[in-house]
Structure 1
Amino acid sequence: MLVKDKFTSYRQYLFAGQKAPGTIAQRVGDLERFERSTGSDVEEATPAILLEYMADHYATWAPQYSKRIRASFRSYFQWRALTVPGAADASRDLPSVKIPKKRHRRPAPDDLVLDAFEKASMRERAILALAATMGLRRNEIATLKLMARNDRELTVVGKGQRERVLILDDITLHLLRAIEAETAPGVRFYFPGRWADSHLHPQTVYMYVKRMMPQECLHTLRHRAGTTGYTRTKDIRATQEFLGHSSLATTEVYVELDRRSTAAITEATSFANAREGGSSEPLDKLLSQATLLAGKLAQHGWSIDVIKSSIPVREEKAG
């Protein structure tokens, strides 16, 4: 039997809006904590009470948490204003919460990941590959269903029940096929739990990685996937879709910028290049590439000579 409480109608409103169960529990939990800590009925809360509640926790709440509490208030009081005759939106004037931009997080180094991969069991290798190659979160790994794979395509259900389809690389595909071949009939998950029809707990996935790589975690493996993917493609939008982020700003935190990219900006803006003629770097780079090519061709019996012509190069005039 469904146990009803003061938030039942609000829950139904959120379910009707296709909000994820975790989001609904979080919203209601935030309202219940407000009532416990203030001794006030949230239905009777005034703008001043809400503002005081958030201001009192300025020194103890992280900006991300304050932003979440504000979002819960906004959602609840907007619902009341729509459904309860005469109810005002007490959250309307709550100030927005600014989240400081984080520095780029350090991705797990390739040598550590590969060393752990070589020593791991098949299922542990699959976890490492799904995190460090495919960029999956620990919850996405723990709940990954066998039916999620269709040939090389893997459908991943992420935060907010948002789906993304990833193309598997050869190594991860091989590992998933190997797990499928060993899985007993009736099992639905790649990483089944202790009980029938259950999956591994996300915290257990986390502990597997910590055991293999004590100095790393699932997040740094995911950062490795995001950083490597962006560095080699320079496509921030594709990286966003790959990681399953709703906000491009979140993706920018996950990808570590290649310092050579910013060094190229510095070179371009240098006073040394301000005068006509600029730097000789393009020529130096071409000569370096020619030398490298000559070395590779020499291994196959070919030779190449780079000779500076005495004939002046004539510049074509426009128009």
Structure 2
Amino acid sequence: MLVSKRPQLRPIPQGWEPELLEFELFLKVQGRTPATIDTRIRHLRSLARQCGVEAPGSVTSDDLVRWSGSKDWAPETRNSFHASTRIFFQWRSQRLGADDPSSVLKSIRRPVPPPRPAPDAVIRQALTKPNQRLELILRLAAELGLRSAEIASIAVTDIQQTNNGWGTLTVHGKGQKDRVLPVPPDLMAAIAHQARGMKWLFPGQFHGHLSPRWVGKLAARNLPDHWTLHTLRHRFATAAYAHSQDIIAIQEALGHESIETTQRYTKSTSDMRGLVQSARL
């Protein structure tokens, strides 16, 4: 089902509905992933509800400035909302020959936070809860480094048994780039148990499986002290680097386009006191 047609979505002014539906179809034709389309349409529906304008054709640059300026967003969130708005109004301008008010919404410089790997004690605390689905979601992030969208979209056909209890998992990553990861026997057994008789590992109402947004929420709700599913991915990168020191292999395992991104996920395990001590005169 198209995002714009979901009955559970909050209503927006009727003047926005036809154009957002057409824009969603355009994104689909362009080959955007379901997760990307979901994000863009949700951002634009928020804009439609909050900017106080009954239809996109009446939106001005001042309306967009007031809307964005009223939000206490983190830089990453603001940048994402700005991008969705610009893409929509640029598409609308090219399609209808209309003015584009969105040029006022610039890309936001986002500070790069240090790696924040979730401690193993935090993960073990969350794993004590008697919920097999939650346990598997947390383990796929912490032990294989999967993103929420990659966890959500695992089909049973992506899982293959190999030998000695090991298996492989085909991961559908960003930019429609697949990668294959080995799965150790104990995790493979948990996956096989969850997958029994299923088409999707985590069935739901988002194209037949759970939405990435809901996977992230499930993890965040059950991890203490504001730890998130993404910090489990940082944990994988940090633990893998401590074992192998092979940043290129970790880049491939995480599905990163750039090795600089992988470095931002990987917390150094070096003894800084020892380093300083070694440099003393």
Whether the aligned pair in 2 keeps the contact of 1:105 and 1:223 (CA below 8 Å) is: yes
Deviation at 1:227, TM superposition (A): 1.0
TM-score (norm 2): 0.70
Whether the aligned pair in 1 keeps the contact of 2:168 and 2:181 (CA below 8 Å) is: yes
Whether the aligned pair in 1 keeps the contact of 2:117 and 2:234 (CA below 8 Å) is: yes
- Among all aligned residue pairs of Structure 1 and Structure 2, give the percentage whose two residues are the same amino acid: 31
Whether the aligned pair in 2 keeps the contact of 1:157 and 1:163 (CA below 8 Å) is: yes
User: Which of 237, 240, 248 is the matching residue for 1:229?
Assistant: 240
Does the C-alpha gap of structure 1 residues 25 and 43 become closer, same or farther in structure 2, counting only changes over 3 Å?
farther
1:24-62: CA deviation from partner (whole Å, max 9, x where unpaired): 2332333333233232233232334323432333xx122
SS of the equivalent of 1:165 reads: strand
TM-score (norm 1): 0.63
Deviation at 1:229, TM superposition (A): 1.2
User: Which of 146, 152, 165 is the matching residue for 1:136?
Assistant: 146
Residue identity opposite 2:187 in structure 1: T
In 2, Cα distance between the equivalents of 1:198 and 1:62? 31
Does the C-alpha gap of structure 1 residues 50 and 176 become closer, same or farther in structure 2, counting only changes over 3 Å?
closer
Tell me which residue corresponds to 1:102: 113
Tell me which residue corresponds to 1:146: 156
SS of the equivalent of 2:101 reads: coil
Tell me which residue corresponds to 1:189: 200
Matched, 1:157 2:154: no
Residue identity opposite 1:154 in structure 2: L
Tell me which residue corresponds to 1:81: 93
Residue identity opposite 1:131 in structure 2: A
Deviation at 1:19, TM superposition (A): 1.3
Match runs of 1:105-120 below 5 Å: 105-109=116-120
Residue identity opposite 2:199 in structure 1: R
Question: Which deviates more, 118-127 or 6-15?
Answer: 118-127
In 1, Cα distance between the equivalents of 2:143 and 2:263? 18
Residue identity opposite 2:114 in structure 1: R
Does the C-alpha gap of structure 1 residues 208 and 11 become closer, same or farther in structure 2, counting only changes over 3 Å?
closer
Deviation at 1:232, TM superposition (A): 2.6
Size of the alignment, in residue pairs? Answer: 259
Matched, 1:68 2:83: no
Does the C-alpha gap of structure 1 residues 101 and 82 become closer, same or farther in structure 2, counting only changes over 3 Å?
same
Whether the aligned pair in 2 keeps the contact of 1:155 and 1:163 (CA below 8 Å) is: yes
1:117-142: CA deviation from partner (whole Å, max 9, x where unpaired): 79989877755542322122455445
1:81-117: CA deviation from partner (whole Å, max 9, x where unpaired): 32223x23322343321112213213222x6757987
Question: Which deviates more, 234-243 or 148-157?
Answer: 234-243
In 2, Cα distance between the equivalents of 1:93 and 1:227? 39
Tell me which residue corresponds to 2:58: 44
User: Which of 238, 251, 256 is the matching residue for 1:240?
Assistant: 251
User: Which of 40, 48, 61 is the matching residue for 1:35?
Assistant: 48
Deviation at 1:66, TM superposition (A): 0.9
Matched, 1:14 2:24: no
Deviation at 1:157, TM superposition (A): 2.6
Deviation at 1:80, TM superposition (A): 2.1
In 2, Cα distance between the equivalents of 1:209 and 1:113? 11
SS of the equivalent of 1:156 reads: strand
Point out the structure with max Rg over C-alpha.
Answer: 1
Whether the aligned pair in 1 keeps the contact of 2:241 and 2:250 (CA below 8 Å) is: yes
SS of the equivalent of 1:104 reads: coil
Whether the aligned pair in 2 keeps the contact of 1:64 and 1:99 (CA below 8 Å) is: yes
Aligned residues: CA RMSD: 4.1
SS of the equivalent of 1:256 reads: coil
- Structure 1 unpaired stretches of 5+: 273-319
Does the C-alpha gap of structure 1 residues 237 and 81 become closer, same or farther in structure 2, counting only changes over 3 Å?
farther
Deviation at 1:79, TM superposition (A): 0.9
Does the C-alpha gap of structure 1 residues 28 and 112 become closer, same or farther in structure 2, counting only changes over 3 Å?
closer
In 1, Cα distance between the equivalents of 2:210 and 2:89? 37
1:175-234: CA deviation from partner (whole Å, max 9, x where unpaired): 445666xx24xx2234567x9x965787589768977x7676644433321211123333
Question: Which deviates more, 150-159 or 76-85?
Answer: 150-159
Does the C-alpha gap of structure 1 residues 238 and 78 become closer, same or farther in structure 2, counting only changes over 3 Å?
farther
In 1, Cα distance between the equivalents of 2:40 and 2:139? 34
